[in-house]
Amino acid sequence: MEDILVIFTGGTIGSSVGDDGFISLDDEGAFGIVDMYADEYGGRERFKCIQPFTFLSENAVQDTWNSLLKVLRGIDLNKWKGIIITHGTDSVSYTAALLGVLYKDVLPCPLVLVTTNKPPAEQGSNALMNFAGAVRLIDYLALSGGYNDVYAVWHGGDFYNVYRGIETVAADTATDNISVYGGQPFAEFYPEGLSMTGNSYNWRVVINDKHEDRCGIVIKNDRRDKIISGEIPVCGKVAFVQQYPGLDYNVIDTEKADAVLVYTYHSGTLCTAGEETSFTRFAGECAKKGKRLYVASLKRSDEMPDEQEITVEIAGGEGVKENGANKAPAYITTKEWMDAGVIPLYDMSKEAAYIYCVLSESLRIAGC
């Protein structure tokens, strides 16, 4: 077995600040983070590095995901102790969710996404800490013999966490910190002894016993294999809207969308007042047009399944499906649109819900 494969795809971790003061991709110095790690911790020979393509993560589109999946299917994952993918922070939570869904329970080794708040050479950058955390996580999981999944690692100053890919939530604009849906990371790092140079700590991985798996999504293996193999591309066009006060549903152009996803307030509610602002009316319009309408994230009761299977069945007129379980208590306004043919998604982040819809529509378009 070989050690660690590092796949560089650009992003801030593969960028530098130019003379004009703007951050841009630095293809020549892209592998610099590996050299920084080796200077601090040693072991440069541990890494094989490839750079199949580069992009700034704000420019990520579905073809970017298809390109990444093509790279991964060209790699014998069984021969590696672990895989690190460098990625920009802006859209890493979506890529992490996508990979977390597609590779759930089939990875022979951990796959860790590494991002940074600033280019590696800039003061205050957490690039080295994040990369070092990914290496330490891979070493730990290899010894433990389990937990092969997709992860993201983040050092936020006063915390140093590991997030499951499917649960990773986008960074906010104030702190630049990515976070986790549900509030509890999968694992945390604690300092344990000095590095080889004595300039920083080595780190010990501790699995968080308060963590609960969330954003459960499952795809039947035959469908998943067709996406991983490239037979079915990621291509579903989903109009994604979040409820906010005064949202006028008339401004949402559903004609060019394969489906619509509306993300609720925290309590699983949507506005039902007014003509233009009523979700109930909008749901009826979508049903008339034959547009699939997803709603996330509704509250999942303790009796409901932890995972929701991606389906390509049409829900029109059948109302909210609850996988044979009782739903959690809902607000009275929800009764107005429960029977409007919406497809409910329970206990999901925005990113996971969007990935669910995109994959579902991609499969439906392919007639799978």
CA–CA distance, 147 with 136 (Å, rounded to integer): 14
Q: Are residues 29 and 99 in the same domain?
A: yes
Q: Are residues 26 and 104 in the same domain?
A: yes
- The pLDDT tens digits of the residues spanning 262-290 come to 999 999 999 999 999 999 999 999 999 99
- The pLDDT tens digits of the residues spanning 242-261 come to 999 999 999 999 999 999 99
Of 176, 207, 238, the position where a domain reaches its end is 207
- pLDDT attached to residue 192: 83
CATH at 72: 3.40.50.1170
Q: Are residues 198 and 303 in the same domain?
A: no
Question: Does residue 317 carry a pLDDT above 50?
Answer: no
Question: Does residue 324 carry a pLDDT above 50?
Answer: no
Q: pTM higher than 0.85 for the full model? A: yes
Q: Are residues 279 and 351 in the same domain?
A: yes
CATH at 348: 3.40.50
- What's the total number of domains in the chain? 2
- Residue 258's domain spans which residues? 216-365
Q: Are residues 101 and 9 in the same domain?
A: yes
Of 183, 207, 231, the position where a domain reaches its end is 207
Q: Are residues 13 and 111 in the same domain?
A: yes
Q: Are residues 336 and 194 in the same domain?
A: no
Q: Are residues 198 and 221 in the same domain?
A: no
- The pLDDT tens digits of the residues spanning 131-148 come to 999 999 999 999 887 799
Burial class (CB in 10 A: 0-12, 13-18, 19+), 22: exposed
Of 153, 179, 207, the position where a domain reaches its end is 207
Question: Does residue 125 carry a pLDDT above 60?
Answer: yes
CA–CA distance, 185 with 169 (Å, rounded to integer): 11
Average pLDDT, stretch 308-323? 55
What integer best gives the mean pLDDT of the chain?
89
- The pLDDT tens digits of the residues spanning 61-106 come to 999 999 999 999 999 999 999 999 999 999 999 999 999 999 999 9
- pLDDT attached to residue 318: 36
CA–CA distance, 101 with 216 (Å, rounded to integer): 8
22: confidence class by pLDDT, cuts 50, 70, 90: low
Q: Are residues 76 and 195 in the same domain?
A: yes
Question: Does residue 119 carry a pLDDT above 60?
Answer: yes
Q: Are residues 20 and 153 in the same domain?
A: yes
